[in-house]
């Protein structure tokens, strides 16, 4: 008896990372997930005018400002692979 295994090789089970193209993953504290700690770090960075550090520049425009904070919030809850 010929049993043809017609198992679809779907990649739909993979969870795509929703990081928009051109943006860094906003997991600035490196715990694997974008959460309140990351929002806080970026917010403090902006508030205290700390020196530029690339990992906080989520949208990679050369400055760390409220746009980066928004980018962190938009990625909230997302997992990052680094
Ligand atoms: Ca984090
Ligand atoms: Ca920026």
**Ligand 2 geometric centre to CA of 82 (Å):** 19
What range defines the domain where residue 81 resides? 20-82
51 CA distance to ligand 2 middle (Å): 13
Kindly list the protein residues that place their beta carbon closer than 5 angstroms to ligand 2, a single-atom ion: 57, 59, 61, 68
CATH number at residue 46: 1.10.1330.10
Please indicate, yes or no, if residue 9 is contained in any of the structural domains.
no
For residue 14, being part of any structural domain is answered with no
Domain presence at residue 76: yes
Looking at all shown ligands, the one closest to residue 65's CA atom is 2
Has this prediction a pTM greater than 0.85?
A: no
Phi, psi of 79 (to 5 degrees): -90, 150
State both tokens at 22.
Answer: 């051109």
Measure 28 CA to ligand 1 centroid, in angstroms.
Answer: 6
Overall domain count for the chain: 1
Residues present in the chain in total = 82
pLDDT in tens, the chain (82 residues): 655 556 555 555 555 455 666 788 999 999 999 999 999 999 999 999 999 999 999 999 999 999 999 999 999 999 987 5
């Amino acid at each position: 008896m010929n049993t043809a295994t017609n198992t679809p090789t779907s990649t739909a089970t993979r969870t795509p990372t929703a990081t928009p193209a051109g943006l860094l993953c906003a997991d600035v504290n490196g715990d694997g997930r974008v959460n309140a700690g990351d929002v806080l770090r970026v917010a403090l960075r902006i508030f205290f005018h700390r020196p530029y550090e690339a990992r906080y520049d989520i949208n990679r425009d050369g400055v760390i400002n409220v746009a980066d904070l928004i980018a962190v919030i938009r990625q909230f809850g997302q997992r990052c692979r680094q």
